[in-house]
């Protein structure tokens, strides 16, 4: 879908992928519109979502600022405002809007934002966990047993209500667990941002960077696993 | 830029609106009626639409189409369960429903096009200019096939459909503009045949849809059906009559059920009266609001699930909402209002006429596209997830539901066998895991150069445009060449078929025109005959015998022409009659002038006092 850039250079320093206006061939100084002929310029597909929305590659983002920027760019790119323009401009408007929408959707959600950043920094990560995290192994196995007992139990039977209560308490425990994981993730996000802000290029900084990325990856996949179990549970016991 | 109108193409009624001086207005007809009933009747004199067609519902039920919106983008199988309720005959061809009217069959987009043409004519007559561009609204929960069918209808009607927009979002535009509404709002839209719920954020002129949900088969029609079923059952019990054998009476039952429902929004009790066939006399029954509510409770409750899902998808609870807005005629029912208020914990808004607000919003969107309104922007979402079929008949999601549109996703395809020259792709829409539980949208075959397995790399882009309609393109990554795709819709008209229908539509237009001219000429002839009759009563003693006999002869000629089929003959005879009455008119004019001067009433003069 997009190219993975492994550079740690701040997005502001990234050269724009295009250098010439598609329409008047002048060098484009403006960010989204040619300064000379005012035609909309295609947002490069190589641009990452952070750069697209004008944010540094950080995991803490001010939601309000992000929304303001999204609205501002929507007003610049949306096809509604290109109805009377040339076919070429309409195509660019459509492509830019679609890119902007996916960028905003990804960055708006802290978890998706982190997954996306991991993807950018360390290559594809969305490994899908099939077995429970080690520290939850026993608990999950027991839960699976209770779940199948519950499904087999007769409607409105006594066994059913006992099992339901048990499952409900399991659900509370797991939800608590999910919140803890999210809190840990939040700490990792802050660590990441701090490290980036320092901008050091030492070996120590590199080791630190790899450690944070690794922990984030583990936490993210554990959280997804637990979250899926919780929503399964929720839909079973209603 | 030519004017763009906004059209609400409804299940029961349709409207057209335009923007003037920064305010949207609905266009009325000569009798000040804003709604065109979405009814098309095939008469001996051709097709008629709207109010005159509505009269044919009971007179000619098998050749009068109503609620055609329910069939847009559907196959016969999709609507199997409710076929029995419709007196007209449905068949299927190429995955598209066809409606049989006399010798010919029509697709739902063709029938819808007739309604659109009526609206187009109305707008042209009102604005005194030719109308060729429009924004048309659809239920937010309409899938790709239903949207495409609506766009096809516009094309067949000779309209350039610049945008398909969602009904609840259109309503929010009208509220945002006219009531200066801001914040997080829920739009609850219960129309004639469809239900939508949309959650939006309104901020500084941006209307961002956060989530939408709904049921494209739930609306006022279903409420009427509950009541009608009760009447039919009771008539069978009390009179031993199965009304199902009498399509005209079934229509009368349906219409009386609708009227009773409407009356019960204001009254606590009403009486339904129906004439029975076979000289069985009359059926008369009191219906209370309580009875209506117990009949329809389940239907109203069915709207609550989608509301909760939409809130959940938006990541909100009802306490986060600032406002709730009601749209659609069915929201006039007190039971609906109570449920909405209980669910959202807020008194809902209904300041703008729920029948007109969608058309008004469509006009606002039309003005945005035309460049007139520049401070408002609608950011809508796709209601259903889009994906493709993968191994094991499982759907793999590419664009998730409630993603802001335009939205795109890219997918890379390659081959599994050496020299393989094609890859079949099946596009789906829906939230379920298995292919069979989702809606099949289209299929196409990707052309691949014959190379060793795994070498070809074809990138396919799935793009949902601002209309919520899917566009697919493909590019060979190795050569950079783009590939044109022949995407075959699963439940839609092919491009060729739409082309052919546009052509036919012009041919029908000539027939339609003839039929309309005939109806108009007859109506006017009727009026002139009545006026002459009246004039004769007032002034026959003021003119000579010669005049009188000439007038009588001309009147008979008009009468004769009126029962003929040629509007030109009617017009010619009307002109003769006007000549014949010339002297009488003059005399009457003089007399009335004199009367006015003498301050006497004409009646006093002519009554011989």
pLDDT for B202: 95
Which SS3 state, helix, strand or coil, does residue B327 take? strand
Task: Give the model's confidence band at A7: pLDDT under 50 very low, under 70 low, under 90 confident, else very high.
Answer: very low
What's the pLDDT at A49?
94
Beta strands of B451-499 (E only): which ranges? 458-464, 470-476, 482-483, 488-489
Percentage of chain A beyond pLDDT 70 is 86
Strands B39-43 and B133-138 come out as unpaired
Percent of chain A with pLDDT over 90: 37
Give every CB contact of residue B76 below 8 A, 6+ residues apart in sequence.
B83, B90, B91, B92, B97
Residue A49 lies in a domain: yes
Burial bucket for residue A54 (CB in 10 Å: 0-12, 13-18, 19+): middle
Q: Is B355 a catalytic residue?
A: no
> Mutate which of B164, B184, B378, B379 to test chain A, going by most A C-beta atoms within 10 A?
B379
Q: Is the pLDDT of residue B226 over 90?
A: yes
Q: Residue A3 falls within a domain, yes or no?
A: no
Q: Mean pLDDT, chain B, as a whole number?
A: 90
Please give the pLDDT value at position A133. Answer: 74
| Mean confidence (pLDDT) of chain A | 82
Q: Do residues A87 and A167 both lie within one domain?
A: no
Instruction: Report residue B332's pLDDT band, with 50, 70 and 90 as the boundaries.
Output: very high
- Point out the catalytic residue in the list B152, B189, B380, B512: B189
Last residue of a domain, one of A122, A144, A164: A122
A110 and A46 in a common domain = yes
B518 falls in which pLDDT band (50, 70, 90)? Answer: confident
For B356, phi then psi, to 5°, come to -105, -15
Interface of A with B in 73-112 (CB under 8 A): 74-75, 78-81, 83-84, 94-95, 97-99, 101-102, 104-105
Q: Is A18 part of any domain? A: yes
Is residue A5 a part of any domain in this protein?
no
Contact call for B406 and A102, based on CB within 8 A: no
Catalytic, B436? Answer no
Residue finishing a domain among A68, A101, A122: A122
Which of helix, strand or coil describes residue B593? helix
Instruction: Select the more confidently predicted residue: B510 or A85.
Output: A85
Report CB contact under 8 Å: A80, B369. Answer: yes
B377:A78 CB<8 A? yes
Distance from CA of B412 to the nearest CA of A (A): 8
Which of B1, B163, B403 is facing A84, going by the closest CB pair?
B1
Burial of B461 (0-12, 13-18, 19+ CB in 10 A): middle
Task: Assign B19 to helix, strand or coil.
Answer: strand
* Residue B419 preceded by cis peptide, ω within 30: no
Cβ(B244)–Cβ(B250) below 8 Å: yes
A105 plus A190 within the same structural domain: no
**Furthest-apart CA pair in chain B: how many Å?**
109
| Token reading at B376 | 């408002």
Domains and CATH numbers, chain B: 4-218+303-379 (3.30.420.40), 220-299 (3.90.640.10), 386-493 (2.60.34.10), 501-606 (1.20.1270.10)
Query: What is the mean pLDDT of the segment spanning B473-500?
Result: 84
CB B332 within 8 A of CB B192: no
The whole-number average pLDDT for the span B365-389 is: 94
If one compares A192 and B564, the residue with the highest pLDDT of the two is: A192
Question: Phi, psi at residue A42, to the nearest 5°?
Answer: -70, 135
Residue A13, pLDDT above cutoff 70: no
Determine the structural domain holding residue A187 and report its residue range. Answer: 134-237
Confidence tier at A236 by pLDDT (50, 70, 90) = confident
B69 is catalytic: yes
Instruction: Evaluate the CA torsion angle A169, A171, A177, A182 in order and state its sign.
Output: negative
* Average pLDDT of the residues in B350-355: 92
Residues A83 and A151 in one domain: no
Cβ contact, residue pair B406, A74, below 8 Å: no
Q: Is the pLDDT of residue B597 over 80?
A: no
DSSP conformation class of B49: E
B78 is catalytic: no
Please say if the pLDDT value at position A188 is more than 50: yes
- CATH code for position A82: 1.10.287.110
A95 contacts B369? CB cut-off 8 A? no
pLDDT digits (tens, 9 = 90+) for B247-298: 999 999 999 999 999 999 999 999 999 999 988 888 999 999 999 999 999 9
Name residue B19's beta-bridge partners: B24
A111/A144 same-domain check = no
Q: DSSP letter at B531?
A: H
- Answer yes or no: do B408 and A98 touch at CB < 8 A: yes
**Rounded distance between C-alpha atoms, residue B543 and residue A156, angstroms:** 94
More confident residue, B192 or B503: B192
The yes-or-no verdict on residue B103 having pLDDT over 50 is yes
The complex's ipTM works out to 0.82
In this predicted structure, what is the pLDDT of residue A2?
37
- Quick one: closest CA in A to B366, which residue? A80
Q: Please indicate, yes or no, whether residues A161 and A210 belong to a single structural domain of this protein.
A: yes
Residues A156 and A229 in one domain: yes
Provide the total of helices (H) and of strands (E) in chain A, helices listed first: 7, 0
Residue A127, domain member (yes or no): no
Note the pLDDT of residue B342.
96
Specify if A6 maps to a domain: no
Same domain, A109 and A193: no
Chain-chain contact of B369 with A101 (C-beta, under 8 angstroms): no
Q: What percent of chain B is modeled with pLDDT above 70?
A: 96
The pLDDT value recorded for residue A136 is 76
DSSP string, B72-136: TT--TGGGGGGGGG-SSEEEEETTEEEEEETTEEE-HHHHHHHHHHHHHHHHHHHHTS---EEEE
For residue A97, which residues of chain B lie inside 8 Å, CB to CB? 406, 466
In chain B, residues with a C-beta closer than 8 Å to the C-beta of A46 are: none
pLDDT band, very low/low/confident/very high, at A126 (cuts 50, 70, 90): low
Res. A124 pLDDT band, cuts 50 70 90 = low
pLDDT for A129 equals 63
Task: Report how far residue A188's alpha carbon sits from residue A199's, in angstroms, rounded to the nearest whole number.
Answer: 17
- At residue A125, the pLDDT reads 55
With cut-offs at 50, 70 and 90, classify the pLDDT of residue A4: very low
**Separation of CA B181 from chain center:** 27
pLDDT tens digits, B34-58: 999 999 999 887 889 999 999 899 8
pLDDT in tens, A41-85: 888 777 899 999 999 999 999 999 999 999 999 999 999 999 989
Predicted confidence (pLDDT) at residue A5 exceeds the cutoff of 70: no
**Mean pLDDT computed over B113-133:** 93
Count of domains in chain A?
Answer: 2
| pLDDT given at position A8 | 35
Listed residue (B98, B560, B207, B176) closest to A74, CA to CA: B207
């Amino acid at each position: 879908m997009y190219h993975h850039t492994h550079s740690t250079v701040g997005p502001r320093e990234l050269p724009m992928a295009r250098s010439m206006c598609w329409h008047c061939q002048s060098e484009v100084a403006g960010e989204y519109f040619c300064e000379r002929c005012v035609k909309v310029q295609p947002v490069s597909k190589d641009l990452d979502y952070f750069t697209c929305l004008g944010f540094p590659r950080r995991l803490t983002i001010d939601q309000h600022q992000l929304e303001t920027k999204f609205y501002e760019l929507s007003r610049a790119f949306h096809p509604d405002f290109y109805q009377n323009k040339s076919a070429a401009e309409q195509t660019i408007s459509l492509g830019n809007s679609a890119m902007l929408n996916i960028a905003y959707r990804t960055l708006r959600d802290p978890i998706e934002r982190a997954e996306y950043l991991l993807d950018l920094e360390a290559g594809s990560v969305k490994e899908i966990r099939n077995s429970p995290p080690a520290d939850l192994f026993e608990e999950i196995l027991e839960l699976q047993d209770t779940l199948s007992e519950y499904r087999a139990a007769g409607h409105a039977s006594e066994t059913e209500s006992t099992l339901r209560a048990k499952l409900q308490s399991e659900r509370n425990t797991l939800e608590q667990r999910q919140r803890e994981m999210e809190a840990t993730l939040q700490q990792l996000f802050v660590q990441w941002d701090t490290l980036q802000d320092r901008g050091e290029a030492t070996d120590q900084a590199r080791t630190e960077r790899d450690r944070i990325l690794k922990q984030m990856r583990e936490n993210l996949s554990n959280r997804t696993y637990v979250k899926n179990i919780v929503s399964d549970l929720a839909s079973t016991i209603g | 830029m030519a004017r763009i109108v906004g059209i609400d193409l409804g299940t029961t009624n349709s409207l057209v609106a335009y923007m003037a001086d920064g305010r949207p207005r609905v266009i009325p007809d000569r009798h000040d009626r804003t709604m065109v009933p979405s009814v098309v009747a095939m008469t001996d004199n051709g097709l008629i639409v709207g109010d005159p067609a509505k009269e044919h519902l009971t007179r000619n039920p098998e050749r009068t189409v109503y609620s055609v919106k329910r069939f847009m983008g559907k196959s016969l199988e999709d609507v199997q369960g409710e076929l029995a309720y419709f007196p007209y005959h449905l068949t299927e061809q190429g995955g598209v429903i066809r409606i049989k009217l006399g010798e010919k069959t029509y697709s739902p987009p063709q029938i819808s096009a007739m309604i659109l043409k009526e609206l187009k004519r109305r707008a042209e007559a009102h604005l005194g200019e030719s109308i060729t561009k429009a924004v048309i609204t659809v239920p937010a929960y309409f899938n790709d096939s239903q949207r495409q069918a609506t766009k096809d209808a516009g094309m067949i009607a000779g309209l350039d459909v610049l945008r398909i927009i969602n009904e609840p979002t259109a309503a929010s535009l009208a509220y945002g503009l006219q009531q200066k509404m801001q914040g997080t709002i829920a739009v609850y839209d219960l129309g004639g045949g469809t239900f939508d719920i949309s959650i939006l954020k309104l901020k500084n002129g941006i209307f961002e849809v956060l989530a939408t949900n709904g049921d494209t088969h739930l609306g006022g029609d279903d409420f009427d059906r509950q009541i009608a079923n009760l009447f039919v059952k009771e008539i069978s019990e009390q009179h031993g009559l199965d009304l199902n054998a009498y399509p005209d009476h079934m229509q009368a039952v349906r219409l009386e059920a609708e009227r009773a429902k409407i009356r019960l929004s204001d009254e606590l009790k009403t009486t339904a009266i129906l004439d029975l066939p076979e000289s069985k006399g009359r059926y008369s029954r009191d219906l209370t609001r309580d009875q209506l509510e117990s009949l329809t409770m389940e239907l109203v409750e069915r709207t609550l699930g989608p509301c909760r899902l939409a809130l959940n998808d938006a990541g909100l609870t009802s306490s986060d909402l600032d406002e709730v807005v009601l749209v659609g005629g069915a929201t006039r029912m007190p039971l609906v209002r109570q449920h909405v208020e209980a669910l959202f914990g807020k008194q809902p808004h209904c300041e703008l006429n729920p029948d007109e607000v969608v058309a008004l919003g469509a006009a606002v969107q039309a003005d945005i596209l035309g460049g007139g309104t520049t401070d408002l922007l609608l950011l809508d979402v796709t209601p259903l997830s889009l994906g493709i079929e993968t191994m094991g008949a499982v759907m793999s999601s590419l664009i998730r539901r409630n993603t802001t549109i335009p939205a795109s996703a890219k997918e890379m395809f390659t081959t599994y066998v050496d020299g393989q020259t094609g890859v079949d792709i099946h596009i789906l829409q829906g939230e379920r895991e298995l292919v069979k539980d989702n809606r099949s949208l289209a299929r196409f075959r990707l052309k691949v150069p014959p190379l060793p397995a795994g070498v070809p790399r074809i990138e396919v882009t799935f793009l949902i445009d601002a209309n919520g309609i899917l566009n697919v393109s493909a590019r060979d990554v190795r050569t950079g060449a783009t590939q044109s795709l022949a995407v075959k819709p699963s439940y839609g008209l092919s491009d060729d078929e739409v082309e052919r229908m546009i052509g036919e539509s012009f041919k029908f237009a000539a027939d339609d025109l003839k039929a309309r001219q005939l109806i108009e000429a007859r109506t006017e002839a009727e009026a002139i005959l009545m006026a002459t009759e009246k004039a004769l009563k007032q002034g026959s003693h003021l003119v000579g015998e010669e005049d009188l006999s000439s007038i009588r002869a001309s009147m008979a000629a008009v009468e004769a022409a009126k029962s003929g089929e040629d509007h030109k003959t009617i017009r010619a005879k009307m002109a003769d009659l006007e000549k014949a009455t010339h002297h009488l008119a003059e005399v009457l004019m003089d007399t009335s002038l004199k009367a006015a001067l003498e301050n006497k009433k004409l009646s006093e003069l002519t009554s011989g006092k």
